[in-house]
Chain A
Amino acid sequence: QVQLQESGPGLVRPSQTLSLTCTVSGGSLSSGGYYWSWIRQHPGKGLEWIGNIDYSGSTKYNPSLKSRIILSIDTSKNHFSLKVNSVSDADTAVYYCARDTDWLFDRWGQGTLVTVSS
């Protein structure tokens, strides 16, 4: 059973860079067949897809965030990562990593709250 776990700082200062990592267990990122996504949920709000990456490092980004987002993958460590540059209050959210069929998200991490505050 594939499991995903997010990790990273819970507090980021405005204008700084938010960095999160998702470690995958029970399956190998290098085996292919899936994409690996980041999704966020603003407090009390709905869900927003941020972007995804495949085992080769090919990425797709939500146009609304594309200019500030970098996704990367390290198959040797079986993890993938998210960086969001120039954060503001609007980036305060619970960030989820998820296994992505390129259509739907069938496995999710438990989520991690990132607060942007000085």
Chain B
Amino acid sequence: IVLTQSPGTLSLSPGDRATLSCRTSQSLSATYLGWYQQKPGQAPRLLIYGVSNRATGIPDRFSGSGSGTDFTLTISRLEPEDFAVYYCQQYGSSPRTFGQGTKVEIK
């Protein structure tokens, strides 16, 4: 399954709302989608699993939604530490695959 993320880059200011999209080439039969955050020089960190469940320790300004082939990660109010690259990942079909990433940068 191919995951296509948009936009490639999102230029926003602290306090703004960020909306990131992930589209899958095939419908996911269940809630088999997650999101990761990656900062420069660091490993990815799991943010969201099962489309909308926050991983341990993830603040509630992060939320996930969607179904079928269209999924969204929303950051309600950007904090300085949220500027990073975000990846979606599907686990409904083997091999598991990732999107190419959306960079959220400071405007």
Number of B residues, CB within 8 Å of A: 21
Name the residue of chain B whose CB is nearest to the CB of A106: B46
Provide the A84-118 mask, 1 if CB < 8 A to any CB of B, else 0.
00000000000010100011111011110000000
Contact: B34 with A63, CB < 8 Å? no
A105 contact from B46, B95, B100, Cβ within 8 A: B46
A106 contact from B32, B55, B96, B99, Cβ within 8 A: B55
If the complex has contacts A104-B49, A104-B89, A106-B55, are A49 and B95 also in contact, measured as CB distance less than 8 A?
yes
Contact: B101 with A46, CB < 8 Å? yes
A108 contact from B45, B94, B98, Cβ within 8 A: B45
Question: Which residues of B sit under 8 angstroms from A77, Cβ to Cβ?
Answer: none
Contact: B43 with A111, CB < 8 Å? yes
> Within 8 Å of chain B (Cβ to Cβ): is A2?
no
